[in-house]
Amino acid sequence: MHSMFLKSPEPSEAYRVDGRAWSVWRGCSLWIVALTHLLSASLCCRFDPKHQYKSVSSERLGRSDSYQEQYVFIYRSSTTTVMDEYQYPDDRPGDEDAFSREPFVVRFKAPQTAVKEFVLIPQHTTPTNTTKELDALYDVLQQVRKMWKTDNVMLLGDFNADCSYLPKKNRKNVRLITDTSLSWLIPDTADTTVRSTTSCAYDRIVVHGETFDRAIVPSSAKAFNFQEEYGLTEKQVTFKKTKNKTKKSLKSHLHN
């Protein structure tokens, strides 16, 4: 789960819906989810009945009809609104169909946070094509900055950005890494996996712009360990390639 707005992020949780394990980033104002099926905002209210939530989601994405995913943002409607959304068409000349699951970009307005308006770009890369997709994500970033005239952009998700999926020798070819205006909040030393036999920083949060970077509560970006927090076994937290999700907090002007 991914904590977004309060200085003290709420605890994260993993849910099982329709027999499937969902890893969800939860924040007091915004939840960010990557699912193979849509997780409705009504589920959020079951676990947080004091607030009302809405959701915005992409279409189902994927090159195969047998396996597709959706990007879903679930947000607290009393504090956060959707200003705009954009499904990246993945038709850049000379680099068409760069992504297996094209980024679904959403622009949010949250007046009670240190950054009032910001853009989120989620991405779940294909492990066998991680280097190319991460580099292509840089083009998406630049297009969105120009289109919406903003520098407050965050990229996040299961980047598969470590170990054999992103060898160190390939990193010099990824502009998302070499551009010094970008801050990678989850370090290479983090372990975002759930298996005891692996230690890889697959899930990442990347922030563009000094203003956005300063708005992050120091040391709040980290992996949430479901197994340790809830006393679960490895079998309970493992579902296909489920990972410990990342979380972070933005400074807020609220003091509740």
> What residues act catalytically?
69, 124
Give the gyration radius of the chain's Cα atoms: 17
Contact (Cβ atoms closer than 8 angstroms) between residue 220 and residue 4: no
CA distance 146 to 140: 10
CA distance 256 to 51: 15
Q: What is the DSSP letter of 193?
A: B
**Residue among 92, 98, 44, 102 at smallest CA distance from 69:** 102
CA distance 198 to 244: 12
